[in-house]
Amino acid sequence: MLYQNACIENAKETQDIRVENGLFAEIAPRIAPRENEEVKDLEGRLVLPPFIEPHVHLDATLTAGDPVWNMSGTLFEGIECWAKRKDKLNAEDVKERVRRAVKLYASNGVQFIRTHVDVTDPSLVALKAILDVREELRNLADIQIVAFPQEGILSFPNGKELMEEAVRLGADAVGAIPHFEFTREYGVESLNFACELAAKNGLLMDVHCDETDDDQSRGLETLATRALELGLKDKVTASHTCAMHSYSNAYVLKLMRLLKMSGINFVANPLVNTHLEGRADTYPKRRGVTRVKELSEAGINVAFGNDDLFDPWYPMGCGSMRDTVYLGLHVTQMMGYHDIMNSYRFVTENAAKVLHLGESYGIAEGRPASFAVLEAKDWYEALSNNAPVVLSVRKGEVIARTQPAVKQVLR
């Protein structure tokens, strides 16, 4: 199969792409078609590596309004709504919603998903269901699972044992939620426990870290220190780090040195954190999004996630990575030309580093032929116009296609 005239990652000159046996066999400015080879002319459309959702909660996905809507939109009312929905949670319910969510993602060119799954549940029903359903969805997406202790490790009965059981069952990454633990000391101990669990089992880590406006919430410094000392480094991701938005600049100056040394990754979730943070503020209201610009400028890897998809905590979402990038650039004031052009990396290459995808990802000869074709000439136009993913190709197979809308102005 030969794809002609692809604008690969905003390149000025188009390239042709030959796909063979599910791999990128050849990428060059002009490739002569072979006899009987199928040819598709992309006519200069943008081609990107598949989008990656590096942070979502698939166990709660697609439950907004069921059985009740979150009327205030706050985190706490979200928890109340979820408590009512949790009664109905069973394996088939979880699987059915995960299937729908993964198909939504697929239609938007997302082929890799990291989901946090709540393991503060003695039956681990959601974890078992998602471990099961991910096999059936392999043709559409790779799903990485984080054992996520929503109600804490030290602050929930048998929290440590549940984390260990989740790892034994097959979780890919270890989570924690230090800012939610009863005390600061529990927070530190939970991080020590989680880091050691990850190190012992050779797993990745992804911590809900300081998802609060409290400028005294300092799980991040402990996480980065342990990542450094245990040699976990870029296997570790700090998600949210909203408190960093509110830290004093003097403290951030000191912290940055450690963050650079530690090599850890960051995931910001601009849609959900602008919506949920700043709720204790009157005016001015904080945005709650971590210091993406400063972290990026320091050479630290940052990706963007959606966090929630139509659930009690976030009532919107269509499984596209575009909106989180679009809003993320606004709230972090990264709207310079180069910032905009390069911003697709937050949900492609940077997210691939978070997930440790290595050479199984990216547009290069010899790698799996997985990519998204967008109805735009470059990422600037795609982002600005909310261009659809017209083709999503996974290991050489077209797994989703969208017919762009035709708009007509009649007068």
Catalytic residues: 211
Work out how close the CB of 382 gets to Fe ion at its nearest, in angstroms, rounded to a whole number. Answer: 26
Q: What mask of x and - would describe binding to Fe ion in positions 256 to 295, judged by CB under 5 A?
A: ----------------------------------------
Site membership for Fe ion, residue 181 (CB under 5 A): no
Query: What residue type is assigned to position 319 of the chain?
Result: G
Work out how close the CB of 240 gets to Fe ion at its nearest, in angstroms, rounded to a whole number. Answer: 7
Site membership for Fe ion, residue 59 (CB under 5 A): no
Q: What's the longest Cα–Cα distance across the chain?
A: 69
Work out how close the CB of 60 gets to Fe ion at its nearest, in angstroms, rounded to a whole number. Answer: 10
Work out how close the CB of 69 gets to Fe ion at its nearest, in angstroms, rounded to a whole number. Answer: 20
Work out how close the CB of 308 gets to Fe ion at its nearest, in angstroms, rounded to a whole number. Answer: 7
Window of 225-233, 242-250, 257-265, 307-315 that interacts with Fe ion by CB under 5 A: 307-315
Measure the CA angle with vertex 243, ends 117 and 68; round to 5°: 45
Please tell me the distance from the alpha carbon of residue 264 to that of residue 302, in angstroms, as a whole number.
9
Work out how close the CB of 180 gets to Fe ion at its nearest, in angstroms, rounded to a whole number. Answer: 11
Q: Which residues have a Cβ under 8 Å from the Cβ of 185 and sit 6 or more positions away?
A: none
Closer residue to Fe ion in complex, CB, 42/81? 81
Window of 185-193, 256-264, 301-309, 392-400 that interacts with Fe ion by CB under 5 A: 301-309
Closer residue to Fe ion in complex, CB, 74/342? 74
Please tell me the distance from the alpha carbon of residue 387 to that of residue 278, in angstroms, as a whole number.
31
Window of 221-229, 254-262, 305-313, 328-336 that interacts with Fe ion by CB under 5 A: 305-313
Window of 40-48, 64-72, 274-282, 299-307 that interacts with Fe ion by CB under 5 A: 299-307
Please tell me the distance from the alpha carbon of residue 203 to that of residue 236, in angstroms, as a whole number.
9
Query: CB of 148 within 8 A of CB of 115?
Result: no
- Compute the half-sphere exposure of residue 51: CA atoms within 13 Å on the CB side of its CA: 31
Q: What mask of x and - would describe binding to Fe ion in positions 208 to 247, judged by CB under 5 A?
A: ----------------------------------------
Query: How many CB atoms are closer than 10 A to CB 75?
Result: 17
Compute how many residues bind Fe ion; rule: CB under 5 A: 1
ω into 49 cis (within 30 of 0): no
Closer residue to Fe ion in complex, CB, 142/307? 307
The owner of tokens 């997210």 is 351
**For the packed helices 125-136 and 91-107, what is the interaxial angle rounded to 10 degrees?**
50
Applying the rule CB under 5 A, the residues between 345 and 374 that interact with Fe ion are: none
Site membership for Fe ion, residue 307 (CB under 5 A): yes
Closer residue to Fe ion in complex, CB, 14/274? 274
Q: Which of 248, 197, 256, 202 is nearest to 224 (CA)?
A: 256
Closer residue to Fe ion in complex, CB, 18/85? 85
Q: Select the residue whose beta carbon is closest to Fe ion and give its number.
A: 307
Closer residue to Fe ion in complex, CB, 307/311? 307
Query: What residue type is assigned to position 87 of the chain?
Result: D
Closer residue to Fe ion in complex, CB, 16/211? 211
Dihedral angle sign, alpha carbons of residues 170, 174, 177, 181: positive
**For the packed helices 159-169 and 125-136, what is the interaxial angle rounded to 10 degrees?**
20
Q: Which residues have a Cβ under 8 Å from the Cβ of 319 and sit 6 or more positions away?
A: 101, 104, 105, 107, 108, 110, 309
Closer residue to Fe ion in complex, CB, 305/362? 305
Window of 193-201, 304-312, 342-350, 374-382 that interacts with Fe ion by CB under 5 A: 304-312
Work out how close the CB of 17 gets to Fe ion at its nearest, in angstroms, rounded to a whole number. Answer: 35
Work out how close the CB of 395 gets to Fe ion at its nearest, in angstroms, rounded to a whole number. Answer: 29
Q: Which of 223, 221, 263, 270 is nearest to 242 (CA)?
A: 270
Q: Which of 96, 111, 110 is nearest to 61 (CA)?
A: 96
Site membership for Fe ion, residue 375 (CB under 5 A): no
Structure tokens at 215: 């400028």
Site membership for Fe ion, residue 9 (CB under 5 A): no
Query: What's the DSSP call for residue 255?
Result: H
Binding region for Fe ion (CB under 5 A) = 307
